[in-house]
Amino acid sequence: MRQNPTDLLVGIGARLAITRNEIGLSQSDMAKEIGVSLRAYHSYEKGERGLPIEALVMLDEKFGADVTWILLGTKAARVQHDIDALEEFETSLDRFLTDQGIRIKSEKRGAIVARWYRSLIDGPEIKMEDVHTWIELLRE
């Protein structure tokens, strides 16, 4: 199904604003980082103008922004952010299992990691306390 061009630009603008906020920049700073004027950048976020390809390339190169998500709304906003979050979760999970002397089968561990990661992507993110409850149910 084909999107209305106005709706498409508004969606891109909203995802661009989300990405900028995740990175932690003001509109002015983001405009400078991707090489456009503040006025132009503001119009991208408002969905009044299309984002130039050069700006998308800069977002990817400088910040690891997922340009597919910005353009189409698919995948994660920041691929590296997701990988970092996944690594942090797995480290915390393994530390908890070791500290508690808990053994679970590797496929069950994988299922926990996969379910947590899905919650990170789709929201709301599952809290570690809930993961501890799952582990209690999966002990060998």
Contacts of 71 (CB under 8 A, 6+ apart): 12, 56
Residue 82, Cα to own-chain centre: how many angstroms?
A: 6
SS3 26: coil
Q: Flag whether pLDDT at 80 surpasses 70.
A: no
- Give φ, ψ of 65 to 5 degrees: -65, 145
Cα torsion through 40, 16, 84, 105, rounded to 10: -170
**Cα 29 from chain centroid?**
21
More confident residue, 76 or 46: 46
Taking the alpha carbons of 126, 129, 134, 139 in that order, is the dihedral positive or negative? Answer: positive
Q: Where does the pLDDT of residue 49 fall: very low under 50, low under 70, confident under 90, or very high at 90 and above?
A: very high
pLDDT at 34 over 90: yes
3-state DSSP assignment of residue 49: coil
pLDDT at 44 over 90: yes
Token pair of 104 as six digits: 């679970």
For residue 118, what is the enclosing H or E element?
helix 106-122
